[in-house]
Amino acid sequence: MKHLSENNEGECTASSFQTKIITAKYAKADVHGAINMPVYRNAAFEFEDSQTIAAAFQHRTDLHTYSRISNPTVANFEEKIKLASGAERVVALASGMAAISNTFLCIASAGNNIVSSPHLFGNTFSFLKSTISFFGIEVRFIDINDLEAVKSAIDENTCAFFAEIITNPHMEVANLPEISKILKERNVPMIIDSTVIPWCGFDAKKAGVDIEVVSTTKYISGGATSIGGAIIDYGVYDWKANKKLGLLPKPKGMSRFMFKLRAEIVRNIGAYMSPDTAYLQSLGMESLQLRYERMSGTAYRLAQYLSDHPKIVKVNYPKLNTSPYKSISDRLFFGNPGAMFTVNLSSKDACYKFMDTLKIIRRATNLFDNKTLVIHPESTIFGTFPSETKKMMGIEDNLIRFSVGLEDLEDLKQDIDTGLAAL
């Protein structure tokens, strides 16, 4: 297969994921020829004359004015994500939750509704259920695996469909291509949180996704070095039907969504990514595919290994033959579907006893660190939720979530065996 060529400017271009990220060029050549993008920590940027600074503030140039709005180091990171994902535009933010909140503040208005699943990460559910509802926005929680329920939930006030590509911690996989057909018929955008599978393992645009949100803290940061998030716009949805964005004239070179996001929401909310974070995560991007393949491969082998263990009630991983989501997972994802899996033990007490015995695997929150992590979601991530809410969200108190890192497979097996032997 031909991977390398030259474009009309004589620059090397690449078709492979890994090479594209490594060979990504700066917007401007570094004065010292640095091969890693420098960290521009300054707040402000100087202009040669009044006309130029006025043009920059009025969005008539791509020049940087103030680092709360844009920054060269962050812009370089955004360009890497754009290359990795095939998106039209990318905005990097301070966290994954900032990506989610900025997205919905951009598109939703009082009287709108959002169709989603109750099977979401804790803070995402809390944002939709509690925070945004006080702005007069309804969230309709349904079983998104029921396509008829999806159809029934959508009406003329639906501003978006939102889901996670693999639910955390339920390990459910939505049939995005079929849902996309319904949404296109109703002219509703699909917004997906793809944190659990990076772009080398999932083609969001091909699956029908319009807007992608991701916590770059996870795989991308390169070992949990920093907190970050990103909003990825594929530029395929026409926002004319949106009550907010339809009022805007179509901007040149970007969607109405991205213009609103850049020109207003990101500026006013103030959650743009810091240049230091962008520098660390740009380095993390360079080893993303290598780490992902190792971590997801180990996760699959561990899930297989534990599937028949007598002290485990159930193992949840979409590639297992026992998973009801294997077929759609195999269609959507390349290789193994991520480095997260869960197990059900006999009780909550058994979960605690097992976790407390582990020596190599760390008891910590976060996903896709270089270190393997374990957590009991019901008492931690969802620990402050009322019991009836946990029940509605499908949170089980005998479930443990694993995030697999880069340790040796046999060492992880031995550590888990020791924990299970203590039960």
Extended beta strands in 204-258, E state: 211-215, 229-233
Q: Read off the pLDDT of each residue in 376-387 and give the average, rounded to a whole number.
A: 97
Mean per-residue pLDDT of the chain: 94
Extended beta strands in 103-172, E state: 113-116, 138-141, 158-164
Omega into 38 within 30° of 0, i.e. cis? no
pTM for the full predicted model = 0.94
Q: Report which secondary-structure segment, H or E, holds 90.
A: strand 89-93
Q: How many whole angstroms separate alpha carbon 71 and alpha carbon 77?
A: 10
Q: Read off the pLDDT of each residue in 95-124 and give the average, rounded to a whole number.
A: 97
Contacts with 225 (C-beta within 8 Å, 6 or more apart), sequence order: 280, 281, 284
The pLDDT score that the predictor gives to residue 129 is 95
The CA dihedral of 152, 157, 159, 160, to the nearest 10 degrees, is -10
Q: How many whole angstroms separate alpha carbon 277 and alpha carbon 95?
A: 10
Rg of the chain over Cα atoms, rounded to whole angstroms, equals 22
Number of Cβ atoms within 10 Å of the Cβ of 41: 12
The pLDDT score that the predictor gives to residue 12 is 36
Q: How many whole angstroms separate alpha carbon 186 and alpha carbon 132?
A: 23
Least-confidence region, from 16-20, 234-238, 335-339: 16-20
The pLDDT score that the predictor gives to residue 268 is 97
The pLDDT score that the predictor gives to residue 59 is 84
SS3 content of the chain, % helix, strand, coil (to 5): 40, 15, 45
Amino acid in position 248: L
Residue 364 clears pLDDT 80, i.e. is over it: yes
Q: Is residue 377 a contact partner of residue 390, using CB atoms and an 8 Å limit?
A: no
Residue 182 clears pLDDT 70, i.e. is over it: yes
Q: Read off the pLDDT of each residue in 67-82 and give the average, rounded to a whole number.
A: 96
Q: How many whole angstroms separate alpha carbon 34 and alpha carbon 32?
A: 6
Amino acid in position 362: R
Q: How many whole angstroms separate alpha carbon 40 and alpha carbon 348?
A: 48
Cβ-count burial 217-234 (b if 16+ within 10 Å, e if not): bbbbbbbbbbbbbbbbbb
The structure tokens listed for 394 are 């499908």
Contacts 24+ apart (CB under 8 A), 238-245: 239/107, 239/189, 241/187, 242/107, 242/159, 243/109, 243/111, 243/112, 243/159, 244/106, 244/107, 244/108, 244/109, 245/106, 245/107
Nearest Cα residue to 161 out of 177, 137, 144, 145: 144
The CA dihedral of 258, 262, 265, 271, to the nearest 10 degrees, is 120
Q: How many whole angstroms separate alpha carbon 399 and alpha carbon 95?
A: 26
The pLDDT score that the predictor gives to residue 4 is 35
Strand, helix or coil at 92?
A: strand
Contacts 24+ apart (CB under 8 A), 152-157: 153/115, 154/115, 154/182, 154/183, 154/186, 154/188, 155/113, 157/111, 157/112, 157/113
Q: Is residue 81 a contact partner of residue 232, using CB atoms and an 8 Å limit?
A: yes
Exposed/middle/buried for residue 164 (C-beta within 10 Å: 0-12, 13-18, 19+): buried
Q: How many whole angstroms separate alpha carbon 167 and alpha carbon 317?
A: 11
Residue 13 clears pLDDT 70, i.e. is over it: no
The CA dihedral of 35, 41, 46, 52, to the nearest 10 degrees, is 70
Quick one: pLDDT band at residue 6, thresholds 50, 70, 90?
very low
Q: Is residue 422 a contact partner of residue 357, using CB atoms and an 8 Å limit?
A: yes
The pLDDT score that the predictor gives to residue 2 is 35
Could you tell me what percent of the chain has a pLDDT over 90?
Answer: 88
Nearest Cα residue to 144 out of 122, 117, 171: 117
Contacts with 33 (C-beta within 8 Å, 6 or more apart), sequence order: none
The pLDDT score that the predictor gives to residue 15 is 66
Please report where in the chains the tokens 């091909």 appear, as a residue. Answer: 206
Quick one: pLDDT band at residue 24, thresholds 50, 70, 90?
confident
Q: How many whole angstroms separate alpha carbon 320 and alpha carbon 300?
A: 8
Q: Read off the pLDDT of each residue in 125-134 and give the average, rounded to a whole number.
A: 95
Residue 5 clears pLDDT 60, i.e. is over it: no
Strand, helix or coil at 109?
A: coil
